[in-house]
Amino acid sequence: MEDIDWLVKMLEEKIEEKNLDYNRFMVLLWNNNTEIKHLFEEIDSSILNINRIVSEQLLDIPSKLQAIKTQRIITEVIRNNPQKFIVIDNFEILFSPILKVKPIELFRELSRYKTIIVIWRYSYENNRLVYAVPEHIEYQESQINKNEMIIN
C-alpha cells in the first residue's frame, strides 16, 4: 500500500505541474499486474476502457466508415466526460490499421481539454513508446517528452 501512496502523491504533483501546460498529457509506465483502479481512487478521475467503448460503438458502423468514426468517438467521450482527469486504459483496439488512428498523438491533442493519463503497459525505449514489434501489422511508435512520463 505504501507504493500506491507514493505513486498517488507523485501523480498529484505531476498533475499540478501540468495544469499550466497547453497539453496536459502524461503516460504512466505500468509493468505490474496490480489493479490500476486503486491508484486512481484518490484522484478525481475517470478510467476509460477504450477497447470496450470503441468496439460497442462501432458494432453497427460499416467497416468503410469505422476509421472516420473512431476518432470522433474518442473525442466525444473525452470531451463530454465530466471528470477533470481522464485515465486511458485498454486501448489496444486503436492500433488496428483498419481504424487509422495514432492513439498517442490523438490523446496528446485531446489533452488540451482535459488532463489525460495514458496507462502504458508496453515497451518504452529512447524516449519512444513502442507498441508491438516492427514486423507486426499493428506496430506503432511515438516520440514522447520526458516531462510527459511517469515511471512506476
- The string of DSSP codes covering 34-76 is S-THHHHSSSSEEEEEHHHHHHHHHTTS-HHHHHHHHHHHHHH
Q: Which residue has the cell 467503448?
A: 53
Q: Residue 136: is its pLDDT beyond 70?
A: yes
Name the helix (H) or strand (E) containing 89: strand 85-89
96 residue type, one letter: S
Domain ranges of the chain: 2-151
Contact (Cβ atoms closer than 8 angstroms) between residue 113 and residue 79? yes
pTM assigned to the model: 0.90
Section 3-15 average pLDDT: 81
Query: Three cell numbers at 102?
Result: 495514432
- The string of DSSP codes covering 6-37 is HHHHHHHHHHHHHTTSS--EEEEE--S-S-TH
Of the given ranges (32-46, 59-73, 104-118), which has the lowest mean pLDDT?
32-46
Backbone φ, ψ for residue 26 (5° rounding): -140, 155
Of the given ranges (17-21, 88-92, 133-137), which has the lowest mean pLDDT?
17-21
Of these ranges, 7-11, 41-45, 100-104, the one predicted with the greatest mean pLDDT is 100-104
Higher-confidence position of 34 and 78: 78
Query: Three cell numbers at 34?
Result: 496490480
Tell me: the pLDDT tens digits for 70-121?
999 999 999 999 998 999 999 999 999 999 999 999 999 999 999 999 999 9
Question: Is the alpha carbon torsion for 31, 36, 40, 42 positive or negative?
Answer: negative
